[in-house]
Amino acid sequence: MSQTSKIFQAMRRFDEAGEAFVCVTLAAAKGSVPQEIGAKMLVTENGRACGTIGGGRVEEAAIKHARALLASKAEAPCGLIEWNLQKDIGMTCGGVVTFFFEVFRPASWHIAIFGAGHVSQALVRTLASLSCRVTVFDTRPEMLSALPEAIQVRRRVIEPLENAVDEIPEGAFVAVMTQGHRTDKPVLERILKTRQFPYLGVIGSASKAAVLRRELRESGIAEPAFRCPIGLPLGKDTPEEIAISIAAEMLQVRGT
């Protein structure tokens, strides 16, 4: 396994565990320096957790700075710092290094998506740029594997899909966009009978919504409350623009 893969896997573990960390990257270097540009190190509040940016005094200084960022609860998620290895760090080599410090804090906004189809793929790409944690449930590993690689995106193969309802954290936003009405209904029924979420939406038309509500009433749910269609009334009927409209609606419901 490459060092980059190890770093990425460690970042994912920290994110899933809800642990804050700093990713330190050697962004630029002049003269004699102990590592190559692009070298990375992950630092938690307990110190270095994975990777290296050269060891010795420069790494010790970077760890100290990263831990200070975590302790300060600074709002700025990233920043550059330049050190002269002789003057600032006290090393014998005369190089100059620039480190990029990127702070990752666990996002409190959880989004669960049922289905990994084309709109879901586009929606995950849109949400991956926001401060949120996204879990996508599907029965098809090949569709889940096509999702974009992002630290905060989790894939979950599960069958039947409705069994995933119990895994969703309280306060999450839920979007149901499975392969169709037949697989949407069991998920909706489980949610409406057992859970409550601030956002529950189903992709589809107004006529689909009417059929779903009728069938859910027949299943014993007096007032099947969910959004369908989902997304704000904007853009064209393409997966990418539908995804933007859904993300915008979620942001509108979430508020500040």
User: pLDDT tens across 6-39, in order?
Assistant: 898 899 889 888 899 999 999 998 887 777 889 9
| pLDDT over 90 at 194, yes or no | yes
| pLDDT over 70 at 145, yes or no | yes
> Confidence class of residue 130 from pLDDT cuts 50, 70 and 90?
very high
104-108, 109-113, 141-145, 166-170: least confidently modelled range: 104-108
Q: What is the mean pLDDT of the chain?
A: 92
Minimal CA–CA distance to 228: which of 250, 252, 212, 239? 212
* Between residues 2 and 100, the one the model is more confident about: 100
State pLDDT tens for residues 65-123: 999 999 987 666 689 999 988 888 887 777 899 999 999 888 889 999 999 999 999 99
Look at residue 29 and give its three-state secondary structure: strand
Please spell the DSSP secondary structure of 172-234, one letter per residue. Answer: -EEEE--SSHHHHHHHHHHHHHH---SEEEE-S-HHHHHHHHHHHHHTT-SS---BSS-S-S-
Which amino acid, residue 128? A
pLDDT at 179: 92
234 with 110: CB under 8 angstroms?
Answer: no
| Assigned token pair, 154 | 């989790």
> In the chain, what are the domains?
3-104 (no CATH), 110-254 (3.40.50.720)
pLDDT at 1: 58
Strands 78-84 and 133-138 turn out to be unpaired
| pLDDT over 80 at 180, yes or no | yes
The size of the chain, in residues, is 256
pLDDT at 74: 62
pTM here is: 0.79
pLDDT at 76: 63
| pLDDT over 90 at 228, yes or no | yes
**% of the chain beyond a pLDDT of 90:** 71
| pLDDT over 90 at 206, yes or no | yes
Average pLDDT estimate for 56-70:
93
pLDDT at 197: 97
Average pLDDT estimate for 121-137:
95
| pLDDT over 80 at 2, yes or no | no
pLDDT at 235: 86
